[in-house]
Amino acid sequence: MRAVVFRTFGGPEVLEVAETPLPEPGAGQIRIKVAAAALNPADLSLRAGRFGSRGLGTDLERLGLGLDVAGVVDGLADGISSPEVGTAVIAMVAGVREFKAYAEYVVVDAAAVAVAPGSVDLVHAATLPVGALTADEALTLVAAQPGDRILITGAAGGVGGYAVQLARHAGLHVVAHSHPGDAALLRELGAHEAVSDLDGPTFDAAFDAAGLGDAVFASVRDNGAYVTTRPDLLPDTQRGVRVSAVQAAPDGPRLAQLAALVDQGVLTPRVAMTYPLAEAAKAHAHFAEGGVRGRLVLVP
C-alpha cells in the first residue's frame, strides 16, 4: 500500500509517499480501507519536531501521520465481530506508529471505532473524530449550566466550530471569538454573539480553543471555568477560576454519540479542500498558512 511518511523532522518537504506492507490487525484491532484522512494541527507539530523525539526512539527511521480517519472496515482480528467488514466507519488513530491515517489502509483499536454518520460523505465524516471529541471533552471539563455565558475562541476552526455547536445544543449562551470576517459563519454555526475583542470578566466559562492564554483567562468571572487546548499555557489558579487543559483520546462510544448528532443536524462537518495522498506536503503548506475555514482532507 501507499502511505505518507517522514524520516526527519522539518517542513512539509520532508513528507514522502512510500510503498509499504499492508498492515495486519492485531489483537482487538480492525483494518480500515481509508477513504479520507483530515489534517490536524498536531500532525504539523509532530512533523516539525515540536514534540521532540519523546517516544520515537533514537532512530526516527520513518513515521506516519494522521489522527482522523474515515473509511470502510476491511479486516478484523480474531474475536472481533463488529463493526462488520464493509461497514463505513470513523476513528481517531492514537499513538506513535510507522503508519497512520495518511495511507491507503490503517489498523486501529476496535474500541476507537464508530459507525460513520450516514447523512454526510466519508470526506466530511473524516473531520469529526479529533475535532468533535476535543470539543466535547472541553465542554465536559467546563461543566457549564444551561444559560451560562461561554466564550469560545478559535470558533471558526475545526475544534472551535464543533464547540460552538455543542455548546448551543447544551443550552449555553455562546459567544464566539474569531476574526471580524467570520461573524456570519459563527452565527450560522449557532453562536448567539460573534466578537473579535475581549473586554472584562463577563463570561461564566471559556474554552480557549485558539490557545490565546491570559486575555481569555482574564475574561472569565471569579469562580468560573477556563479550559485550553494548550497545556503549556495553562494559567495558575486564581480568583477561584477552575483551570484545565483538554486533550482528545480515542473513544468509540463517545464518537458514536457525536456521529448521531451529525445525523440529527446538530453538528456540521466542514471541508475546506481535498488533496490526493501524493500532495500531502502541499496540504501541510496550505494549512500552515492559516486562515483555513474547515478541514483540509487527504483522499487516497
In the prediction, which pLDDT does 55 show? Answer: 45
Inter-residue contact 105 to 31 (CB < 8 Å): yes
pLDDT tens, residue by residue, 260-279 = 999 999 999 999 999 999 99
The DSSP code for 201 is: S
Are both 47 and 119 inside the same structural domain? yes
Q: Burial code of 89-98, b = ≥16 C-beta within 10 A, e = fewer?
A: bbbbbeeeee
- Domain of residue 100, residue span: 2-128+269-299
Residue 116 has pLDDT above 50, yes or no: yes
Residue 76, in any domain of the structure: yes
pLDDT digits (tens, 9 = 90+) for 135-183: 999 999 999 999 999 999 999 999 999 999 999 999 999 999 998 889 9
Tell me, what's the pLDDT at 216?
93
Lookup: cell for 248? 482528545
Nearest residue to 112 (alpha-carbon basis) of 30, 180, 34: 30
The confidence score (pLDDT) of residue 63 equals 85
164, 134, 161: which is closest to 150 by C-alpha?
164
Number of domains in the chain: 2
Is 160 among the domain residues? yes
Does pLDDT of 2 surpass 70?
A: yes
pTM, to two decimals = 0.93
Based on the domain organization, do 117 and 142 belong to the same domain? no
Q: At what angle do helices 252-263 and 129-142 cross, to 10 degrees?
A: 100
